[in-house]
Amino acid sequence: MTIEISTERRRFPGISPRAYEHPADRGALVALRAVPGLPAVLRALSGAVGERRERLLLLASAVKVTSKQFPEVQALRLECAATLEVSPVPEVFVLRNPEPIAMAIGMDTPFLVLSTGLIELLDTDGLRFTIGHEMGHVLSGHAVYRTLLLHLTSASLNLAWFPIGYWGLRAIRLSLEEWFRKSELSCDRAGLLCGQDPAAALRTHALLAGAMSTEPDALVDFLAQAEEYDDAADIRDSILKLGHLSGRSHPLPALRAAELQRWATSAEYTAVLGGEYPRRVDDPDTSFTAEVKAAAGAYRDAVTSSNDPLAKLVTKAGGAVADGLRSFRRP
């Protein structure tokens, strides 16, 4: 694989993760960031032991990416970090596994893990998109907040006797899964900002879903699957769709691809490419009310555009929760 780093790709100095975060993801993150001392609490809960344990295990069982080991991945690592101004640049480890896997791990010193299966499956542009996606997780601090939510989930499971009962715990789990899925949509956008090539992102989504062909006509058919899925308005299909989401931390591949392609044609994406984006320096002054309002708006848009009767109810409920958060005030 020969790496080609284009000087035409834009970089985004000082970019805030708010520039690419999905409104529902961003609203949840703003709420969490509004809690004073939260990072300290998280570190007390985890002691960074898990992070240290995982890195030590990878040092002993995987290959650390350098200019000598996986030089193409090393070049993309540096390029994507520079594009989103992620510093320090996260280390990358490559793990022998035929399955295509990519993840960001860690709170204090995040690092990325890629599988050999992923590297063998994707071309340079696909790897750029994927590494950019994982850099988005790092910049958004998703690992920090996912750690908190996992601790809360674990704690809730130990309180099964509590009056909220099974359905209350299930509602908590479904809410966490919903946020996980929205965070993945956010980082697809970060990956697109790194590659600035919607076609490469679409090829990547199709390949990860199992596509054998990434010719343009085949990709059009792949996107059509998402439209067909959304158009199924029978109540029986609606019930089946809800079952598809149970236990999933990632969006369904065809729907995920369609969501990113819509963002790629949006005025928001065009503005970011043109240098009009929120800066990190302004993050402390972010309006909580405005972000939650945007999250509620995203859910309402989903209600409007969906033909699925149960999806309308679920997204409307999500919008109601987001609207309810408006009453929250920083201490």
Contact criterion met (CB below 8 Å) for 231 and 307? yes
3-state secondary structure (DSSP) of residue 158: coil
CA separation for the pair 105, 109 (Å, rounded): 9
Clarify whether 134 is annotated catalytic. Answer: yes
Q: What is the DSSP string of 86-140?
A: -SSPPEEEEE--SS--EEEE-SSS-EEEEEHHHHHH--HHHHHHHHHHHHHHHHH
CA separation for the pair 245, 174 (Å, rounded): 9
Strands (DSSP E) contained in 153-297 are none
- Provide φ and ψ at 282, rounded to 5°: -95, 0
CA separation for the pair 260, 200 (Å, rounded): 11
Return the H-helix or E-strand segment holding 63: strand 63-64
Strand partners, 103: 113
Return the H-helix or E-strand segment holding 272: helix 267-273
Strands 91-95, 111-115: pairing is: parallel
> Pick the catalytic residue: 21, 51, 91, 134?
134
With tokens 């909220």, the residue in question is 164
End-to-end CA distance of the chain: 53
| Total residue length of the chain | 331
Q: Which residues are catalytic?
A: 134
